Structure 1
Amino acid sequence: MGNRFICMTKKDAKEIAGTRSKRLGNRSQRKLPSEEELLHRQVLSLALHQSQRFEGSMSRRFNGGNTSSRRRPLSDPFSNGKQLSEFLETLKCKKIVLIHGEGFGAWCWYKTIALLEEAGLLPTALDLAGSGIDITDTNHVTKLSEYSKPLIDHLQNLPEDEKVILVGHSIGGACVSYAMEQYPEKIAKVIFVCATMVSNGQRPFDVFADELGSAENFMQQSKFLVHGNGKEKAPTGFMFEKQQMKGLYFHQSPAKDVALAMVSMRPIPLGPVMEELWLSPEKYGSCRRFYVQTLDDHALSPDVQEKLVRENPPEGVFKIKGSDHCPFFSKPQSLHKILVEIAQIS
Structure 2
Amino acid sequence: MIFVESGSRKVIPRILENIKTKKFVLVHGEGFGAWCWYKNIALLEESGLVPIAVDLTGSGIDLTDINNVATLTEYSKPLIDFLEKLAEDEKVILVGHSSGGACISYALEHFPDKISKAVYVCATMISDGQRAFDVFAEELGSAQLFSSDSKSLIYGNGKDKPPTGFVFEKQHMHGLYFNQTPAKDVALAMVSMRGIPLGPMMEKMSLSAEKYGNGRRFYIQTLDDRALSPDVQEKLVRDNPPQGVFKIKGSDHCPFFSKPQSLHKILIEIAQIP
Pair in the same fold by TM > 0.5: yes
Report the equivalent of 2:146: 218
Q: Which residue of 2 aligns with 1:271?
A: 199
* Counterpart residue number, 1:242: 170
- Percent identity reads 72
Match of 2:240 among 312, 321, 332: 312
Given the superposition, is the C-alpha separation of residues 256 and 77 from structure 1 closer, same or farther in structure 2, using an over 3 Å criterion?
closer
TM-score for both structures, normalised by structure 1: 0.75
Deviation, 1:235, is 1.2
Aligned to 1:321, which of 232, 238, 249?
249
Would the aligned equivalents of 1:294 and 1:322 in 2 still touch at CA under 8 Å? Answer: yes
- Aligned partner of 1:56 in structure 2 is none
Cα deviations by residue, 1:271-326 (Å, 9 ceiling, x for unpaired): 00000001001000111000000000010000000000000000100000110000
Where does structure 1 lack aligned partners over 5 or more consecutive residues?
A: 1-60, 62-66, 79-83
Out of 49, 68, 84, the residue aligned to residue 121 of structure 1 is 49
Residue range with higher mean Cα deviation, 219-228 or 96-105:
219-228
Which of the residues 187, 203, 206 maps onto 2:115? 187
Corresponding residue number in structure 1 for 2:127:
199
The residue that corresponds to 1:90 in the other structure is 18
In terms of fraction of residues, the more helix-rich structure is 1
Deviations along 1:160-209, one digit per CA (max 9) or x if unpaired, are: 00000000000000000001100000000000000000011000000012
5+ residue gaps, structure 2, are none
- Secondary structure at the aligned position of 1:243 is classed as helix
Quick check: 1:178 aligned with 2:106?
yes
Structure number with the bigger relative contact order (C-alpha 8 A, sep ≥ 6) is 2
Deviation of the 1:68 alpha carbon: 4.6
Alpha-carbon distance between aligned partners in 2 of 1:70 and 1:252, rounded to the nearest angstrom: 15
Tell me how far apart the structure 2 counterparts of residues 273 and 326 of structure 1 sit (CA, whole Å).
19
**Aligned partners of 1:69 and 1:294: how far apart in 2?**
11
Match of 2:187 in 1: 259
AA of the residue aligned to 1:126: V
**d(CA) in 2 for partners of 1:226, 1:252:** 29
Q: 2:39 aligns with which of 88, 98, 111?
A: 111
**Shift of residue 228 of structure 1?**
1.8
Count of residue correspondences: 273
Moved more, 95-104 or 219-228: 219-228
Q: Take 2:25 and 2:209, find their aligned partners in 1: how far apart are those partners?
A: 23
Query: Structure 2 matches for 1:1-346, cutoff 5 A?
Result: 61=1, 67-68=2-3, 84=13, 87-213=15-141, 218=146, 220-346=148-274
Distance 1:321 1:103, change over 3 A: same
Q: 1 CA distance for matches of 2:265 and 2:11? A: 17
Q: Do the aligned partners of 1:212 and 1:218 also contact (CA within 8 Å) in 2?
A: no
RMSD of equivalent CA atoms? 2.2
